[in-house]
Structure 1
Amino acid sequence: MMLELEGLGGGYGQAAVVRDVTLRVAEGERIALLGRNGTGKTTLLRTVFGLADRQGGEVRLAGRPVPRGRPDLLARRGAALMPEDRGVFPTLTVAENLRLATRRGFVPAVDPHEIFPLLTERRRQPAGTLSGGQKQQLGIARSILSGQSLIVVDELTQGLQPSFVQQVLEAMTRIAATGVAVVMVDQHAGLLLERCDRAIVMQTGRVVFDGTSSTDNREELDRLLAVA
């Protein structure tokens, strides 16, 4: 397994948002993490990557534990998170942002410059002066360049034109085919369900569904997402 969470709890200070989450993500698997706003999706990701307080449980990457307070180990082992705020460095140029994200000796299955022309056109522009959609492109590109083993993208389609959304989903499929695990979060469940191997639905900080998005499960998924 690439990513394993065992009884994970997390939140902010004494406030618990995520409770007793156990899940597995295999190499090359594409996961849709779904649920309405406030159900704990973002906090779960932030807990895994050390941006929220881990209040219990275990995180393992490729079978190796990631101790509490050591999110740097995830990055060193090739795990990349694009957070909800895109995670770009505003005072650095587009090219500098990409250079910082690039892992030495790693060539991703997809060149993000081929998906997003602005990475070349605006390479000298400070990232902080980009529009929201342009920052989204840069953030996704950074995750592709650094995600050698695991790529996690929060709010995948935020600010993206529909044509770019399809290209990104196709790119993630190609990347997953090389063994990289991909976890994607978005409010547009239908898009992800069409492209992912498995769906995970959260409600009130807990996982309430973990299974395929096959026709047999769609009725249950639709019901859960209607109230998630």
Structure 2
Amino acid sequence: MSQFSAVQNFSRRDVLKLFGAAGGGLALGASGISWSPMALAQGGEARLNLFIAIGEDDKVYLTCHRSEMGQGIRTGIPQVLADELGADWDKVVVVQGLADKRYGSQNTDGSRSIRKGFDKMREMGAMARTMLEQAAAEQLKVPVSELETVNNQVRHRASGRSLRFGDLALAASKLPLPEVSELKLKSADAYTHIGKGHTIVDMEAILDGTAQYGFDVRLDNMLYASIVRPPVLGSQVAKLD
């Protein structure tokens, strides 16, 4: 994609380069069993389970842990995360999450990714938003209740003062994670990304043929197999070489 594209695509390896142990930012993850959040800011390896990361450059790295199969899930999941976070879509970088049990189920079929993960992804976005608001409240010396996130900024409603996500990321990452029960999720009428039209983030790659699918994978000494259909209904395998 062009360097001027609103949404960029990064592999998990690319993110590790950007968010190494020496890098700064805010990173959140979710456990596969209970979805209770855990901080993942200790080092490069811990960052493998990223759902949300915010760089000091104000980029917002959102991980999609499900497979793109033409259903647009690499756009849909980031939309949910970005909405509760209050992210500017032009600063979103989509990261593909590879196989990792800490993501929870990564099974991608039956149109279940959003149905099963919608509330959990909203919680992840709201969790990061809450931490950014808490960090901003400390710097602006105002109550958290007077703050809101809009387009990658935490804004004080009364005075109009605001702070960039990137300027708050380090301070936010040092705060304790809020309990899920304490989170305040947006009402449907306040959605800015959910249910809105966004161009599929992989559209250019799909159109120009650079998108890679499972069929495109080539490995050393790779073998190929095909299904042989029986000539008669009800036939059984007689022998197999």
Q: Relative contact order (alpha carbons < 8 A, sep ≥ 6): 1 or 2 greater?
A: 1
Larger proportion of strand = 1
In our comparison, the structure showing a higher alpha carbon Rg is: 2
TM-score (norm 1): 0.29
Tell me the TM-score normalized by structure 2: 0.28
